[in-house]
């Protein structure tokens, strides 16, 4: 097996993965800020890191992934204040929604899902460490990190910050800073605002310190991989580096992986353009979870993904093809024996799939390997060259692929129902469906095809596809 290569934003090169702890990859992922429902772009990033961790596991590596939940920031405070509830209460519903969303998309739970507000003490300790080293200063009760004390500032994003001036396009944050580039580690409370009483004063943590504190607490001073959306490289990740490396004197992260953004019909997603979608929006409009997952993972993560209606249709049909194939493998009867060529073919597909993912998570290549296999095996089944012993092997290969892709389980309907979303057209109960199919079977037996076709049409109108198989049995599924 080839070594796993990943693009490192820090060096702008493709580099081999070399875990610090042999056999275990430690990953920190910037999770959602729970001031609202996560949008579809967020999930592009989360699905990327899910594919990444699943691939590591397929390779036999252990994964220790930490994802944070930012449950305190300006928007949350403002919204909670407006709603007249404590921030913890305000964020609860969005955390719950987030968990439901990732479950619907088959995104695995990280080993540690941690909330910022549960780690205030850790952040305070880290800030104190920076204070002790003389890297900070106070202003109006807030504590800032002095960028000038960290000479390599900018190394991740390659941004030359020397030209940044206060007032220009830089948020002066309504506080007095010595240098526009400096960022807040700790913010003093505005009147009426929620605050924590700590040794470094009253207030709340800055956004960047939370990730540094939690990442190092759970993963150590130097972590293997840190992921996030491209927009986070500056300033968020840059600031994480400055804080963490100043505090420990060690490299903070070995590999920085940044997922490109998703755009909608060629335009940036934004509320003002009216093209801002949450997952639930798309589900409500009829998309299946598996469709979204396929679409979001089908384009390699470092490539911008243009999200379109057309793309949804294509993704849906592609998933269908994969599922149909597995159904055929399991349902069809094959002649006894095994075909050595088939095993070779499967081995090749597995090797290609692995090589694709090992090449900086090239999901397009990995998918091509699968579709190649699907076509070849379908053809060999048609030619009767595919034998009984081959079937379980092919199924096992598909399951192996699916341990990374997670698209085959036909549980879309169940997931949607779990979210309280059911397609309006699916009004028939399973018992009614079975009854109609039984009537259709009877019609067919007496060759009353007019009646049988009527019934199929009726079911079709309710979103149910009826298929007659070669062996005479009939099966149905939601479309």
Using CB under 7 A as the binding rule, the residues of this chain from 14 to 33 that contact RNA are: 30, 32-33
Does 235 bind RNA (CB under 7 A)? Our answer is: yes
Q: Which two tokens stand for residue 318?
A: 């592609």
Report phi then psi at 419, rounded to 5: -90, 0
Does 367 bind RNA (CB under 7 A)? Our answer is: yes
- Out of 15, 231, 411, 439, point to the residue binding RNA (CB under 7 A): 231
- What is the C-alpha separation between 353 and 349, in angstroms, rounded? 6
C-alpha closest to that of 233 among 205, 211, 263: 211
Q: Reduced to 3 states, what is the DSSP secondary structure of residue 286?
A: coil
Site for RNA in 72-111 (CB under 7 A): 75
- Out of 136, 244, 290, 362, point to the residue binding RNA (CB under 7 A): 362
Only segment of 14-22, 114-122, 370-378, 402-410 that touches RNA (CB under 7 A): 370-378
Site for RNA in 198-217 (CB under 7 A): 207
Cβ(107)–Cβ(253) under 8 Å? no
Tell me whether the omega of the peptide bond preceding residue 235 falls within 30 degrees of 0, making it cis: yes
Give min distance, CB of 415 to RNA, in A.
21
Site for RNA in 325-344 (CB under 7 A): 325, 328
Does 194 bind RNA (CB under 7 A)? Our answer is: no
Does 41 bind RNA (CB under 7 A)? Our answer is: yes
Nearer to RNA, 132 or 364 (CB): 364
Q: Reduced to 3 states, what is the DSSP secondary structure of residue 225?
A: strand
- What is the C-alpha separation between 290 and 407, in angstroms, rounded? 6
Nearer to RNA, 124 or 262 (CB): 262
Q: Which residue has the tokens 């073919």?
A: 345
Does 262 bind RNA (CB under 7 A)? Our answer is: yes
Nearer to RNA, 99 or 368 (CB): 368
Only segment of 19-27, 308-316, 412-420, 429-437 that touches RNA (CB under 7 A): 308-316
Only segment of 91-99, 311-319, 389-397, 419-427 that touches RNA (CB under 7 A): 311-319
Cβ(308)–Cβ(71) under 8 Å? no
Does 236 bind RNA (CB under 7 A)? Our answer is: yes
Q: Reduced to 3 states, what is the DSSP secondary structure of residue 253?
A: strand
DSSP-assigned states of every residue in 350-402: HHHHHHHHHBTS-HHHHHHHHHHHHHHHHHHHHTT---TTHHHHHHHHHHHHH
Binding pattern to RNA, positions 434-463, x when CB under 7 A? ----------x----x--xx--x-------
- What is the C-alpha separation between 206 and 191, in angstroms, rounded? 17
- What is the C-alpha separation between 332 and 325, in angstroms, rounded? 10
CA 129 to chain CA mean position, Å? 34
Site for RNA in 142-171 (CB under 7 A): 157-160, 164, 169-171
Binding pattern to RNA, positions 407-426, x when CB under 7 A? --------------------
Nearer to RNA, 41 or 205 (CB): 41
- Out of 259, 361, 394, 436, point to the residue binding RNA (CB under 7 A): 259
CA angle (416 as vertex; 400, 113 as ends), nearest 5: 65
Does 112 bind RNA (CB under 7 A)? Our answer is: no
Neighbours of 171 (CB within 10 A): 10
Does 300 bind RNA (CB under 7 A)? Our answer is: yes
The size of the interface with RNA (CB under 7 A), counted in residues, is 82
DSSP-assigned states of every residue in 110-133: PSEEEEGGG-HHHHHHHHHHHHHT
């Amino acid at each position: 097996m080839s070594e796993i290569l990943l693009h490192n934003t820090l060096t702008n090169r493709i580099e081999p993965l070399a875990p610090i702890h042999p056999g275990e990859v430690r990953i920190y992922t910037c999770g959602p800020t729970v001031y609202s429902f996560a949008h579809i772009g967020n999930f592009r990033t989360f699905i990327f890191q899910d594919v990444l961790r699943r691939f590591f596991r397929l390779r036999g590596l252990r994964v220790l992934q930490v994802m944070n939940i930012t449950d305190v920031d300006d928007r949350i405070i403002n919204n909670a204040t407006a709603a007249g509830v404590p921030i913890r209460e305000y964020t609860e519903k969005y955390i719950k929604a987030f968990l439901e969303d990732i479950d619907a998309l088959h995104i695995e739970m990280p080993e540690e899902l941690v909330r910022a507000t549960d780690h205030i003490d850790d952040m305070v300790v880290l800030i104190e460490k920076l204070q002790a080293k003389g890297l900070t200063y106070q202003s109006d009760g807030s504590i800032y990190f002095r960028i000038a004390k960290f000479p390599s500032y900018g190394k991740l994003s390659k941004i030359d910050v020397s030209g940044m001036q206060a007032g220009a396009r830089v948020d002066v944050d309504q506080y007095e800073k010595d240098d526009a580039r400096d960022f807040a580690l700790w913010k003093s409370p505005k009147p009426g605002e929620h605050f924590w009483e700590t040794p470094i004063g009253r207030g709340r943590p800055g956004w960047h310190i939370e990730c540094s504190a939690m990442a190092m607490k759970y993963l150590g001073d130097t972590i293997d991989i840190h992921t996030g959306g491209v927009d986070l490289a500056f300033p968020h990740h840059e600031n994480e580096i400055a804080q963490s490396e100043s505090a420990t004197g060690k490299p903070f992260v070995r590999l920085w992986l940044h997922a490109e953004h998703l755009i909608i019909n060629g335009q940036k997603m934004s509320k003002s353009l009216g093209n801002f979608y949450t997952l639930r929006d798309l589900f409500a409009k009829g998309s299946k979870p598996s469709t979204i997952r396929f679409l979001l993972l089908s384009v390699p993560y470092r490539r911008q993904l243009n999200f379109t209606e057309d793309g949804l249709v294509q993704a849906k049909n592609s998933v269908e093809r994969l599922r149909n194939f597995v159904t055929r493998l399991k349902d069809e009867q094959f002649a006894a024996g095994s075909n050595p060529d088939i095993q070779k073919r499967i081995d090749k597909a597995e090797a290609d799939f692995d090589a694709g993912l090992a090449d900086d998570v090239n999901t397009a290549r990995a998918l091509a390997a699968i579709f190649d296999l699907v076509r070849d095996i379908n053809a060999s089944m048609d030619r009767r060259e595919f034998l009984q012993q081959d079937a379980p092997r092919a199924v096992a290969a598909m399951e192996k692929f699916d341990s990374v892709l997670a698209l085959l389980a036909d549980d879309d309907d169940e997931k949607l129902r779990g979210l309280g979303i059911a397609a309006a057209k699916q009004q028939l109960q399973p018992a009614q469906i079975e009854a109609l199919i039984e009537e259709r079977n009877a019609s067919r037996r007496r060759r009353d095809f007019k009646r049988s076709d009527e019934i199929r049409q009726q079911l079709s109108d309710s979103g149910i596809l009826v298929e007659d198989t070669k062996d005479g049995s009939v099966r149905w599924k939601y479309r």
